[in-house]
Structure 1
Amino acid sequence: MIVDAHTHVWPRWPYDPPVPDDTSRGSYHNLLHAMDSVGVDRALLINARITRSDDNNEYGAEAVTAYPDRFVHVVDLDGRWAPAYHIPGAADRLRVLVDRFRPAGVSRYLAPENDGWLRSTEGRAVFEVAAQEGLFVNFACAPSWQEDLREVAREFPTVTILVNHLAGVTLWGGGVEEALAMTLSAEELPNLLVKVSGFAYGTDRPWEYPNRQALDVVRALHDSWGSHRLVWGSDWPSVTAHLSYRQSLEIVREHAPFIDPAVLPLVLGGNLERILTQEAKA
C-alpha cells in the first residue's frame, strides 16, 4: 500500500497568480485522479486555512465523507497566519474541532521563530488532548523547533508527531549544514517522524529532477533517524508547479538507493499505515 503523507485540497485556488480553473485545480476529485494514475492508495489531507481557505476544514471533511477509504482528515488548528495563533485556549479550540470533524490528526503551521510555545502550558495542553483523543499531530516548522519537538516527543510517547517537508532543512536561512545540526539526532524517538516531501523548496532550480540537494538531506535524515521514521509525501497540488505527481513519488522510489529496497515500502506507505491503524484502535 502506498500512502501519501502530505496533500492539500481546496474548493478554490489559494495561490497567486490566479488560474483559469479556480474551482477545480486543487479539488479532491483531481487529487483522487492523480493518485489513481500512479497507484497511490490513500492520502492525508493536510487542511490549511490560508488565503481564500477559511472553510478548508469543512472541505476536507467533505472529501473524507465522499471517499472514506482514500482520504484521511487532518484539521488545521490556529496556523501562523490565523488571528488565534498562539492565543490562549488552543486545547479548547481543538476539542471543538474534534467534536465536529472527528479527524485522524491535527495540523499546526508554526512561525519560523521559536517562541517556546511547544514547551508552554498551552502547547502541552494541545498534546494532552491529542493523547486523549488518539490524534497524531502534524507540524510545519523550521529546524529551530526541533529541540522542543524532541522534548514533547519524550513527554508524550503515545502521540505521533509528523514534521513536514524534510523538517524545513532546505528552507533554513542559515543553510543546510546549520539546519541539519539542529535536526539530526541519534536519540531514538519512534513517535517523531519526518516527511520525505517538499523537494522543490529551498533551491533556485525547483524544476530540476531529481533534486540532488534534497536527496542529500533525505540521506542524512535516513542515516540519523532511520527508515522507520520516514514517510513519503507528494505535497500535491503545490508540487505540480515544478514536478509531476509521478515525479514526486519516483524521486524516492527510483533515486534514493541509500534506502534499502526491503524497507522502501515502509517509507512509501507502511510506516504511515501503521500509525493510522494504531490511531484507529486508540
Structure 2
Amino acid sequence: MNLVDAHQHYWRVDRGDYTWLHDAPASLQRDFLPPDLQAQRSAAGVAGSVLVQAAASEAETRYLFELARADRSILGVVGWVDFEAPDAAARIRALARDGDGLLLGLRPMAQDHADPDWLARPALDAAFDCLQGLDLAFDALVRPPQLPALQRRLRRERELRVVLDHAGKPDIAHGRYDDWAAPIRELAALPKVSCKFSGLLTELAPGMPTGTLDPYVDHLFACFGPARLIWGSDWPVLTLRGSYAHWLELARALAQRHAPHALDRIFSRNALAFYRPRRAPDFPASAGAIP
C-alpha cells in the first residue's frame, strides 16, 4: 500500500519562536529534525510527507522551505501568516513566491485564540480571499468550542479547500462526545471539507485503552467517508502516546474495519488530491495500491 504522511512537524528549539513548547512536556522540548524520523518513516514505507508549521511566524515557514529543499521526501509545507495583519494578503503572496511551489497551504493556529469566534471575524476576510485566489489549502487547527465559528466561516468561503486537523481535537480524555459530534456532522455536510485522520492517540489520557477511540472514529467514517479522510502521523507530538509505527498500525486497523477497499485513498491518494503538491512521492515499485 502506498503511504503519504499528511501531517508531521520538524522543529529546532534554538530558533526561539515555538512559544507553546515552554509549557509542553519535557520530552518535546528538544530538536526533532529529518534524521530523527528517517529510519522510522523508511521502516513504515512512507514515501513522502506534508510538513506543517509549529510556530506562529513566517520565519519558521521559510525555515521549513529550507528543510524541504534539502529533503525531497517533504512534498510541501503548510505555513503560517498572521491572518489579521492589515497586509495579510501581501504576506501570503510573498510566502507563496518564496516557497516557489513548496507552499501548499496555511494554518493560523486558531486553537490558541481565546475568542472561540475568532475564525468568523471580518478582519480575516482578506486573508481567506487571498488563500482562495492562490488556490492554497487551509488547515483548520481548532477545538470543539471553535467548530461553530469555523462552520460560519466556511459557509462564506464556498471554494476554499479545507482540512480539519486532528478531527477537530475531541476531548476524548474526559469522555466528551456530543459537543464535538454534532458540529462535525454539520461541517462534513460542506462538500469541500476534508478531515485528518490524525492526532487522536494524543487525545487519550495516559493509560486509556485505544478502544476508547472507537466511537470517535466510527463518527468520522460515518460523516466524511473514506473519500475525505486523510491519514497523518502528527509526529513528533505523537511520541507522547506512542511510536510512529504504533499509530500507523492502529490507524490502518481502524480504517480496515470501516473501509477495507479504500486504504490507498485514506493513506495516500486523498492527501495528494487535497494538497496538490508539485513533487510526486517516490512510491516503491513493489507497493500495491488498494483501489
TM-score (norm 2): 0.79
Residue 256 (structure 1) shift: 4.0
The match for 1:251 is 250
Residue 187 (structure 1) shift: 5.6
The answer for unaligned runs of 5 or more in structure 1 is 79-84
The match for 1:36 is 42
Paired residues of 2:53 and 2:78 also in contact (CA < 8 A): yes
Residue 153 (structure 1) shift: 3.3
Q: How many equivalent residue pairs?
A: 268
SS in 2 for 1:252: helix
Question: Do the aligned partners of residues 21 and 187 (structure 1) sit closer, same or farther apart at CA in structure 2, a change above 3 Å counting?
Answer: closer
Paired residues of 1:10 and 1:59 also in contact (CA < 8 A): no
Question: Do the aligned partners of residues 234 and 55 (structure 1) sit closer, same or farther apart at CA in structure 2, a change above 3 Å counting?
Answer: same
Partner AA of 1:193 in structure 2: S
Show CA shifts across 1:192-241 (max 9, x none): 11111112333322x556x2222321210110222212111111011112
- Distance between the aligned counterparts of 1:17 and 1:230, measured in 2? 29
SS in 2 for 1:254: helix
Residue 20 (structure 1) shift: 11
- Distance between the aligned counterparts of 2:121 and 2:194, measured in 1? 22
The match for 1:82 is none
Question: Do the aligned partners of residues 49 and 33 (structure 1) sit closer, same or farther apart at CA in structure 2, a change above 3 Å counting?
Answer: same
Residue 99 (structure 1) shift: 2.7
Identity of aligned residues (%): 23
Show CA shifts across 1:27-81 (max 9, x none): 022233322110111111111116xx88432331112101234332111223xxx
Q: 2:91 aligns with which of 90, 93, 110?
A: 93
Question: Do the aligned partners of residues 173 and 142 (structure 1) sit closer, same or farther apart at CA in structure 2, a change above 3 Å counting?
Answer: farther
Q: Which deviates further from its counterpart, 195-204 or 33-42?
A: 195-204
The match for 1:81 is none
Show CA shifts across 1:227-277 (max 9, x none): 212111111011112211011111111234442211122111111111233
- Distance between the aligned counterparts of 1:21 and 1:148, measured in 2? 32
- Distance between the aligned counterparts of 2:28 and 2:115, measured in 1? 38
Query: Which structure's relative contact order is higher, taking Cα pairs within 8 Å and 6+ residues apart?
Result: 2
Question: Do the aligned partners of residues 106 and 242 (structure 1) sit closer, same or farther apart at CA in structure 2, a change above 3 Å counting?
Answer: same
- Distance between the aligned counterparts of 2:173 and 2:29, measured in 1? 33
Of Structure 1 and Structure 2, the greater helix share is in 2
Map 1:62-73 to 2 at 5 A: 62-73=66-77
Partner AA of 2:222 in structure 1: D
The match for 2:286 is none
Residue 152 (structure 1) shift: 3.6
The match for 1:7 is 8
Map 1:1-282 to 2 at 5 A: 1-12=2-13, 15=21, 16=24, 18=26, 22-23=30-31, 26-49=32-55, 55-78=59-82, 86-102=84-100, 103-110=103-110, 111=112, 113-170=114-171, 175-185=176-186, 188-205=189-206, 208=208, 211-277=210-276, 280=278
Residue 141 (structure 1) shift: 0.6
Paired residues of 2:159 and 2:192 also in contact (CA < 8 A): yes
Question: Do the aligned partners of residues 216 and 39 (structure 1) sit closer, same or farther apart at CA in structure 2, a change above 3 Å counting?
Answer: same
Residue 190 (structure 1) shift: 2.9
The answer for unaligned runs of 5 or more in structure 2 is 280-291
Partner AA of 1:160 in structure 2: R
SS in 2 for 1:43: strand
Paired residues of 2:89 and 2:126 also in contact (CA < 8 A): yes
Paired residues of 1:196 and 1:233 also in contact (CA < 8 A): yes
TM-score (norm 1): 0.82
- Distance between the aligned counterparts of 1:186 and 1:163, measured in 2? 9
